[in-house]
Amino acid sequence: MAEQTLHHEHDQHYDENQIQVLEGLEAVRKRPGMYIGSTSARGLHHLVYEIVDNSIDEALAGACSVITVTLEKDGSVSVQDDGRGIPTQMHHKMGIPTPEVVFTVLHAGGKFGGEGYTFSGGLHGVGASVVNALSEWLIYDDARDGKHYTEKFVRGKVAEPYTCAGETERHGLYVRFLPDAQIFETLQFDYNVLLTRLREQAFLNAGVRIVLRDDRGEETVEDDLCYEGGIRNFVSFHNENKHCEVLHPDVIYMRADREDSVAEVALQYTDSYNSTLLTFANNIHTAEGGTHETGFKTSLANVINTYARAKNILKDSDKDFTTDDVLEGVTAIVSVKLREAQFEGQTKAKLGNSEMRTFVYGMVKEKLTEYFDENPVVARSIIDKALAASRAREAARKAREIARRKSPLESGALPGKLWDCHEKRVEVTELFLVEGNSAGGSAKDGRDSRFQAILPLRGKVLNVEKSRLDKIYANTQLIPIIQSLGCGIGEDFDIKKLRYGKIIIMADADVDGSHISILLLTFFYRHMPKLIEEGHVYLAQPPLYKVFKGEKEIRYAFSDEERDLYIKELGGEKVEAERYKGLGEMDPPQLWETTMDPEHRTILRVEIEDAIQCDQIFSVLMGESVEPRREFIEKNAKFAENLDV
């Protein structure tokens, strides 16, 4: 009856007055996530990218050579370029100055088919206006044709009108803005996050100079980014930071131009078992690939197979190398620039232009075949790498079949040591991967068995960074995890078959626990990356201390600072603080209360903000070389004391 009343009242009030029309930039302020993804730190940094991307488009047009991004002392950000600036005349349709149109009208820009830009990443025409809408204030200085013009906005609306500020010898656009505290969860820009993105842009646009400056501290921090070698330098940079051995010293580079398109590929093989393939269209990272990626992969496999058969390395009875075989150990950048880029989806994560498949395919086939003919030693080293990968793939297939027969991976059978939950809906279920049988037993007894499953881990988890798939299928620790999750790995992976919405790594808050967590994260990142990408992987945060006064007054502290605070709060001489050496020291009710109860626990979702950086970190931490790992730990030692917070 109550529900019926609610519906009735709702109907009464639903009339023409409930239909809202959001004018101007109101829509952006009302629903910022639709335009920049989120109002978190990610969305905050996206504002900078939107303005910088406009300057990059000027560089693509050949009109800009230097872009300077400055983190100002007052928390604002400025972007200065030496491009053409924005046309300064009154707009023929809007009846207001053209720069004002760019900063106040959605879907206004010079990239909708006009002659201003041959290549552009910003095709929606919302970048500058969205930044303006989500800023407490924004000012610009537009230098063009010997004069410069200024205007100031407050929360998207004109605060100081469009004015000619006099004559100047400069040319280009200066934009400075302060993000709105009413919109964003944080206003603190991360220098390293911006540096990673801007460095990427500098690699993709050979010869363009991007300067990042931080004036917020007592001393200015500055990085001057310019790479004459373009994506060749990108490949070298990536491999140097991975600290792996290269199979050939020079980066293989190829380029093709046609009327309104450019395609570039740079690649280098390493001794790694993993591949890094990054694709871009008009400087936008196409994380889900697309037609240019398909063209590259298909052509690479074709060229290597053709050469291997011509040289009788592959016999008539041998199967062709698969795409996975020829990609093992490669670091490759594929970058295309085209006039009318068609992206699939709002996020621009996948390129849809069908002609780019044949364009990239043809270029790689011609240029790489020519390179192999001229460099037979390099060609042979690449083919030997593919041969080893092919043999390992076959060994993995046999190991997989054996594993399936022993503990059928495909039959839906679950490992005997898994304590499953009753709930079957993926969106509400949780799987805890628990370090040690003792803690596993406590977790089993303390859990809510309706939706929480427990899989205890005992012994060493395989370091997959140093292992191919055949070793994984023989590993007694990883097979139960694969079985429990139900979604397979590698070519068998299907996220639709995932049995649990949250996979929570629960390890001791010590060095060994951190090591186990990293090993598991490496496994997920290398063989089930979608689990991380789609937000299924979490780290449990068990308490470090139990602070108590008698039996009734108990607090759980997750840091030394919190411990000291609780000691002070409880007061008196009888207050004690007990350090937990491991999860096994907690009884089931304590483990539930502190680490497993959704109402009170703290869990950290694992996110891949930057795939390149993650790839490098895992390669360093889990790779063969000891020295780079030591350097990484020493460089990041300041974080060590907070690892278990």
Q: What is the DSSP string of 461-521?
A: PP-GGG--HHHHTT-TTHHHHHHHH-S-SGGG--GGG---SEEEEE--SSHHHHHHHHHHH
Of all helices (H) and strands (E), which one includes residue 386?
helix 376-406
For the chain, give the number of residues. 645
CB under 8 Å to 125, separation ≥6 — which residues?
Answer: 106, 107, 108, 109, 111, 112
Asked whether the predicted pLDDT for residue 167 surpasses 60, the reply is yes
Q: How many CB atoms lie within 10 A of CB 188?
A: 11
Phi, psi of 17 (to 5 degrees): -75, -15
Most confident stretch, 8-17, 121-130, 566-575: 566-575
- Comparing 242 with 256, which gets the higher pLDDT? 256
CB under 8 Å to 639, separation ≥6 — which residues?
Answer: none
Alpha helices in 335-375 (DSSP H): 355-374
Q: What pLDDT digit, counting tens, does each position of 337-369 carry? A: 998 888 886 556 789 999 999 999 999 999 999
Q: Supply the pLDDT for residue 409.
A: 45
User: What's the rounded Cα separation, in Å, for the pair 561 and 573?
Assistant: 19
- Angle between helix 355-374 and helix 376-406 axes, rounded to 10 deg: 120
Q: pTM for this structure?
A: 0.72
Give the type of residue at 233.
Answer: N
Tell me which of 100, 141, 420, 508 is the catalytic residue: 508
Mean pLDDT, to the nearest integer, of 439-459? 90
Mean pLDDT, to the nearest integer, of 408-414? 51
Q: How many CB atoms lie within 10 A of CB 296?
A: 27
Q: What pLDDT digit, counting tens, does each position of 102-147 carry? A: 998 886 554 434 444 455 554 333 589 999 999 999 999 999 999 9
Q: How many CB atoms lie within 10 A of CB 62?
A: 9
Q: What pLDDT digit, counting tens, does each position of 516-566 carry? A: 888 888 888 888 888 988 889 998 888 888 888 877 788 888 778 888 888
Locate 352 and state its tokens. Answer: 């849809």
Tell me which of 245, 512, 561, 578 is the catalytic residue: 512
Torsion of the alpha carbons at 25, 29, 35 and 37, rounded to the nearest 10: 170
Locate 431 and state its tokens. Answer: 């799987």
Let me know if 342 is exposed, middle or buried by CB neighbors in 10 A (0-12, 13-18, 19+).
Answer: middle
Tell me which of 320, 510, 564, 593 is the catalytic residue: 510
How many alpha carbons fall within 13 Å on the CB side of residue 107? 2
User: What's the rounded Cα separation, in Å, for the pair 389 and 404?
Assistant: 22
CB under 8 Å to 31, separation ≥6 — which residues?
Answer: none
224 given a catalytic annotation: no
Give the type of residue at 404.
Answer: R
User: What's the rounded Cα separation, in Å, for the pair 6 and 4?
Assistant: 5
pLDDT category, 636, cuts 50, 70, 90? very low
- Comparing 577 with 405, which gets the higher pLDDT? 577
Give the type of residue at 427.
Answer: E
Tell me which of 142, 435, 615, 644 is the catalytic residue: 435
Cβ atoms 578, 430 nearer than 8 A: no
Q: Supply the pLDDT for residue 163.
A: 94
508 given a catalytic annotation: yes
510 given a catalytic annotation: yes
Let me know if 455 is exposed, middle or buried by CB neighbors in 10 A (0-12, 13-18, 19+).
Answer: buried
